[in-house]
Each structure stands twice: as structure tokens, then as C-alpha cells.
Chains A and B, each alone.
Chain A
Amino acid sequence: MGLEFIEGNEAIARGALKANCDFFAGYPISPSSSILHHMLNKLPKVGGVAIQGEDEIASIGMCIGAAMTGAKVLTATSGPGMSLYSENIGLAVIGETPLVIVNVQRQGPATGSATKGAEGDILFTRWCTSGGQPMIVLSPATVSEAYELTYRAFNLAEKYRTPVFLLTNKEIAVTRESVDLERVELPRLVNRKRAAIGDPCLPYRFKALHEVPEFADIGGDQITRFTTSSHNEAGYLTSSPEIIQKMIDHYAAKIKSAEEDIALVKQDIEEGAEILMISYGITSRSVTVAVKKMREQGYKMSSLTLQSLYPVPRITLNKALLGIKRVVVPEMNMGQYIQEIQRLIPVGVEVVGVNKMDTTLLSPDEIIDRGVLS
């Protein structure tokens, strides 16, 4: 088709439309607002509905309601809005609602530097609601990845009936890049598995713990139920410790068992390397430059770019760690994802974080000086 010059937020809207998103609700907040603009402009043209909610709580609430009638939904916000989403994210987990949530990270806490970038919400997104269930979190590094991963996020939300997060950054969201979206390779579109008509209403039925229950649309021919409370397979309130535990195990199992299916890691492995860079998001692009520079100077280095942060792609990480003596984890926060890496690190391997959140990008030289040469 040819090149376009678009920002990450537009790419997200385009990825959502490509995934047949048909409902959007969101509330203005920098730097995510242009996703709202794009969806309000684009969605009605393909027969969908987009609305600006009265606040973030209403926006995600409308999304959950629409999703349970069968719609493929998207909402988008930035840090402070994520705080307001928190309770409803728990609802989407317990109600097993397919839902894609974009968090365009900005420097915080609170209002912080509202129009500047950061990667400060990594652990917040992982643990963003009460109850502590596993989450699926993807993180693009470029405008075209924002497009691709939004599309993939819809597939994962549909497949696993769960909220899926796209964790991006002001630095991708409102930076324009020359891209050719037509050339982005996308997997086949996935739609949630529907219950056969005529079956009794058992909206939360599964045999094995990791199985994803079949979905019946509210407003569809089969009467169905949705609830925020601990429930049995029929969606009725239960106080049975046995059933409650089974459900808790189920929410975890369906995501944990899908670890390999969800894992998206770009690997740049150099034989004999003793240094491994692990990065994600916009910072991974500085790492690419840093690695090239260091290799030109004769250093042997490997690099992993994580496009999926959660569930932690342990298998790939463990494999890449073989023979490594130093791991460098640069982040635009004060050391968050490094904690996940430290959990996996064998004794004797040094883990170095390169961190700042002064609103500017980590430069390749900073990563080299503080991560490799220090």
C-alpha cells in the first residue's frame, strides 16, 4: 500500500479496527487522548460505537457491559486513569471478560509530568487490582508494533476471556514514524468460543482448570449471567470454599498454562556472549543502538526484546541466560521489571539496572556507560 506517517496512538486505533473492535469508551487524558479521538472518528464508520465516558470508571464500565453482550472492546488511558480502572479490572477478571486496555505510560506518580514519557507502570499493571491474579501485558517498541500488538491483544483477550493490557509510552504514542502497516504480518483473527445454543446456562463451566469457559452473549438466545461475586459454574453466588478455590485456581491456570502461547520475545543472540541485555518498549530501541556500538568495538553481547512482559516469558529468558555473566536491564523507571529477572537469575550472575525517570529517553551511551562499562 505504501508508507504512512502516523503516531503510535493512531496505530493502536488501526490495530483495534483490524481486529474488528466494535466498541470503545474512554476519557481524555494525556498522552492517550488521541486514541479516543481516533476511535470516535473511525469506529462509527464501520458500524461500531465509541463514546467519551464521564470518567475512567464509567468508560471501563461501559466497555465491560458492551463486551458481555458480545462486542470486542477497547479502552485507553494513562497512569492516573489506570488507578481509576483498578476495581473494574478485577471485575473483568472474575467475570472473565475479553477486554483490551491500553495504558499510555506517562511520568508519575499522580499528575507527574503529564505530557512526558516513562515506564513507571510495569508492576502497577501487573498487580493493578485486588486479588492478585495473573495478567497478560504486551509492550510495543515502535509504531508498527503498537498496531501489531493491539491486534494480538484482541486475539489473546478473546482466546482467554480476560483483560489484556497494552503497555505503551508517550514516546511511542505521540511520536510519528514512517510505517507500512500493510506489511505487518498478523496472525489469524481469533474470536471467543461461543456456547452452543440450547445448552443450559453455565457461563463459567470448564473441565480442566485451564479451560476457558464458552461464552454466551447477554442479549443472545441463551440466557446467561455475569457477576462480580464468587460464583459457581452457573454464575450463582457461592460460599463454598472448594468452588471459590477452584475458580481462583482457574483464573490463574488459564493464563499460566498459556505462557508459551503468549510469549513474544525478539532474540538477538550472539554465540559466546557473556553480557545479556533485556529490555522492552521504547528503551529497547536504545539498546539496539547500544548493542550495535558495543559489537563494533568487539564486545560479545546478546539482547532480548520483550514484547510480552506478563506472563514472564521464563522459558526464553532461562535459555538466553545460559553462559551469561552479566545481565543489563535498562528501564525508564527506578527498577521494576528487573525484579522479575532477578527471580530467574542463577547464582553468580550479576544483574545491573540502568534506570532513570527524568522524562528523557535512556540514550545508547547511558546504557553502555552505566550498564556495560560500569
Chain B
Amino acid sequence: MSTIIDTYLTNEISQLPFCPGCGHEPLLKALDEALVTLQPDPTKTVIVTDIGCIGLSDRYFITHGFHGLHGRSITYACGMKLARPELTVIVLMGDGGCGIGGTHLLNVARRNIDITLLVANNFNYGMTGGQHSLSTPLSGITPTTPMGNLECAMDLCGTAIAAGAGWAYRGTTFDKDLPDRIAEAITQPWFSMLDIWEMCTAYYLLHNKLKKKDLMDIMDRNNLKHGLVANNPRPEYGAQYRATYVDSATLEDKPHTIETKFSNNVTRQIGIVIAGSAGQKVRSSARLLAQSSMCAGLSVTQKDDYPITVMTGYSVSEIIVSPERINYTAIDTVDYFVLVSVDGLKNTKSRIKKLPSTCTIYVEKSLKLPHTEAKIIRLPLITTAKKINRLSICIVALAALMKDSGIINLDAFAKAITTFQKPATVKLSLKALYAGSALIQTEQEVDSSRGTVHNKIFNKPKGELK
């Protein structure tokens, strides 16, 4: 029982606020004619307007209306189209909007989102007093180009096409076929744009001779085609997005949960620092330590520090474990310090110098440490890891730490490895774990320069690694 809509303009159309002779009125009437031809459901159609005189237009249509910020109308239109693909989304923007929002024009063309852009291009900022815009012709006189415009006018269609626009048309409000062309643009199931040249009688025409024929001359002079400039369809973004991501989405991610299965010997908040090189799996190994601490019923925090580059420079992780809720997440007093490379040493040198006597450093034996009060345990971390896998060095070191300190059962570490690592790496990591813990009985070199015996604050765990 759908009835034919004979106009999409409201009955307020007689009160259009435009200056006599302004091109906006014929443009809106051409759009109305196009809509009458296509008969879209007004409740499924939205007219999005930019700032400028053209921004006054949306209220004169019986469709939904959205009037947004200067230059940003394309962004609102894209959000609406992506959220509600069934909508017909039409943007009305001036040449000014193409300037301030130029990046949005490039990016909607590049992404190819199915909105239709009508540029009401009258070569100046009509609402703010006729200042020059990016489309003001060379030598054009405006209040901001009093001696004639020195800037090259931008070819809007050409720019959009260069960015990937598949459908672009250049015309004028004098074109008899403008309604048909607008209808054709709206019908395209991808991004389409019309650069519609028109007259600003209030400002641009005050200082510049511009008749219908002059518009054609400017196009000719600049090798700008009048009519359909591009028609090269390619897949629309929203449709591709839905096909690629939404329709083929697998089940929702299941969170990785950790169950408490092991005991621990931690009686207060403990701070552990692991310093090495990027690419040595410092962060992921620290995370395994954290996860094993959680398996042992402890609260844990982890912070990582590394340069913005990848696979070069230092990588430092800080782990706090505690039997209680952790409040302050910085480690002012380090309890255990793991050092596996020169990069890690360089980054933490000043920190190592200040380590207290209650701290134990587990360090690759070839590294030369600055003077420190801390107890130093030198271990052949590099050679041990090399026998398994170079990248297992942090696990070797952490296993030594756990074995020596007894803070967490090594079984908890093994559990974290088998639960959270990829099957391919589990075997190597477990090997590293055994090798690391074995270092404590065999290869330990305690630096006795302090002349005191390190007091363990923990008891050895009851359960030993099988």
C-alpha cells in the first residue's frame, strides 16, 4: 500500500533562506527530483549537512536530518552507514568543508563507504563573508585574495579519484540532467560524489564575472571534464567488513582463566625485575612467572618497559607478587633482580647500584656488574639456554630464581607453561625450566664481596619438581 512520494521537500520549502540567485536552491531541487525518481523510504534516508549556507538545507527534507561540524559531515555519515547499512546516506557539503575536512574526503574515497557526497561548490566561503576556498579559481578576487587568488584550485573529483573514488561526476546547477546524475550517484552501492559548481551571488559574483559559460571555460582551461569523470566500481567497505569480520566471526573469545592449585611461601609484597634485550622474550617470560604466581594463589602485577622499536634495545619487566591486594605498583625496593643481557644491564645500571643488601641478583656470568650491596648469583645463563633454545634464557633465569628463592613452587611454573604457551614451545620451555633449576645446585657462584651471607626471607617450598 506504499504511496508514491511526489516531493521529499517539506512544505517550508517556500521559505528557503538562500540569497536571490544562489545555486543552493536549484541544487536542493535537483536532489529532491532525484529522490522522487528513486522513492527511498524517508525513514531509511538521512541527509547529513556540513557547515556553511548548505548546512541550512537538511531541515527542508522529510527524511532524517543531521547537521554537524565544519568539514566533518563525511565522518558522521560513515558512522551512520557502518552502524546501519540499510540507510541511504547523502552528504551536502560546500567547497569549504572539502578544505577543512579534506582528509575525510580522501579516506571515504579510499575506503569506499557507500555514501553519496554532493559538493555545493561556489568557490568561496559564502557564510563567513566570501573568503577564498580551495576551489577559488586562479586570479579570483575575494576579501582574502584582494589582488587575485594565487593558489591553484583543487580538482575535487580528481583528488577523490586519486584516493580511490570509483564514481565521480562534475557538473553545474545549470545542467539539465543534474537530477538524473544525482539519482545515479545515490544508486551506486559504493562511494559516489558530485562536484556541483554553482553561483554565490552574495559574495563571489560581487567581485568576479562569472556566468554559466564562464564555468564551462574554467573547466576547459583546466582540463576538467564536465560530466561523469569516473565509473570504476570496486568493493564497498561496509559490505566487505561484514563479510570478512562479522559474518565469518568465530565464537567470542574465551578469557584465559587461572586456577589456584599450588601453595606459595610469600609472606609479604615481593618486587622482581627482569632486564634483558628486546627479542629475548623478557615480557612473555615475566608473564609466565606472573601466571605461575597466580597458580600459587598470589596477587600479581606486571609492568613492561621497552623502547618504541622492536627487536633492538632493552626490555625490562617488573613483577610484583603478594599474598594481599597490591596497591602501590612501583618497585622501590627490589627483592629479586634477573639480568640476562648487556642491553638490560645498560638500562638498569643506576638502579643496580642502589640495590639493597636484601636483594638477590641472578645474572648471566659474563656480565660485569657495577658495585652493589645486593647478593649476586652468577649463572651460565647464555650457555645453558643455547643448549635448549637461545630464546629460553629468561625462563632458565626465572627457574633459577624460583628454585633458589623458593617463593613459588616450580610445579606452578610448569603449569603456567603448559597452560598458556603454544604446544610447540611447551617442550622447550619445560626443558629450560629443568635446566634453570638445576643451575642452582651445580653452577651457582655466589659473590661474597659483601662479606655477609644472604638471608633468605622464605622457606623452601615443600613440593619439589618431579
Which of these, A14, A23, A364, contacts B79 with CB under 8 Å?
A23
4 closest pairs, A vs B, by CB?
A61-B75, A65-B79, A2-B257, A62-B79
Report B346 CB to chain A, min CB distance, Å.
18
B95 close to A (CB within 8 Å):
no
Given the interface pairs A61-B76, A62-B78, the reply to whether A175 lies near B302 with Cβ below 8 Å is yes
**Which residues of A36-70 have CB atoms within 8 Å of chain B's CB atoms?**
41-42, 44-47, 49, 51, 53-55, 57-58, 61-70
Report B184 CB to chain A, min CB distance, Å.
23
B46 close to A (CB within 8 Å):
yes
From A5, A55, A171, A363, residue with most partner B Cβ within 10 Å: A5
Bound state CA distance, A145 and B291, in angstroms?
21
- Excluding A55-B103, A91-B68, 9 further A-B contacts by CB distance (< 8 Å) are A44-B249, A49-B246, A51-B82, A54-B103, A62-B82, A115-B308, A178-B290, A228-B68, A360-B330
Secondary structure call for the B interface: mixed
Which of these, A45, A66, A67, A227, contacts B67 with CB under 8 Å?
A227
B87 close to A (CB within 8 Å):
yes
B44 close to A (CB within 8 Å):
yes
Bound state CA distance, A62 and B68, in angstroms?
11
Secondary structure call for the A interface: mixed
Which A residues lie within 8 Å of B241 (CB)? Answer: 44, 49, 51
Bound state CA distance, A289 and B72, in angstroms?
47
Closest to B249 in A: A45
Q: Mark A55-92, 1 if CB is under 8 A from B, else 0.
A: 10110011111111111000000000000000110010
Report B417 CB to chain A, min CB distance, Å.
14
Closest to B283 in A: A176
**Which residues of B236-283 have CB atoms within 8 Å of chain A's CB atoms?**
241, 245-246, 249-253, 255-260
Which A residues lie within 8 Å of B256 (CB)? Answer: 4-5
Bound state CA distance, A247 and B78, in angstroms?
28
A3 close to B (CB within 8 Å):
yes
Contact B327 A285, beta carbon cutoff 8 Å: yes
Closest to B318 in A: A175
Closest to B100 in A: A57
Contact A64 B104, beta carbon cutoff 8 Å: no
B56 close to A (CB within 8 Å):
yes
Binding stretch for chain A, among B58-66, B135-143, B201-209, B354-362: B58-66
Binding site for A on B (CB under 8 A): 42-44, 46, 48, 51, 56, 58-59, 62-69, 72, 75-80, 82-84, 86-87, 103-104, 106-107, 241, 245-246, 249-253, 255-260, 287, 290-291, 294, 298-304, 308, 326-330, 332
Q: Mark A198-224, 1 if CB is under 8 A from B, else 0.
A: 000000000000000000001111111
Which B residues lie within 8 Å of A1 (CB)? Answer: 255, 257
Bound state CA distance, A123 and B332, in angstroms?
30
Contact B46 A218, beta carbon cutoff 8 Å: yes
Bound state CA distance, A372 and B258, in angstroms?
40
Given the interface pairs A3-B294, A45-B251, A219-B64, the reply to whether A286 lies near B327 with Cβ below 8 Å is yes
Bound state CA distance, A363 and B329, in angstroms?
9
Given the interface pairs A226-B65, A228-B67, the reply to whether A285 lies near B328 with Cβ below 8 Å is yes
Given the interface pairs A23-B79, A44-B245, A62-B75, the reply to whether A225 lies near B328 with Cβ below 8 Å is no
Contact sample, A vs B, 11 pairs, CB 8 Å cutoff: A41-B253, A42-B252, A65-B76, A65-B79, A65-B83, A175-B301, A218-B66, A219-B80, A219-B87, A223-B62, A363-B330
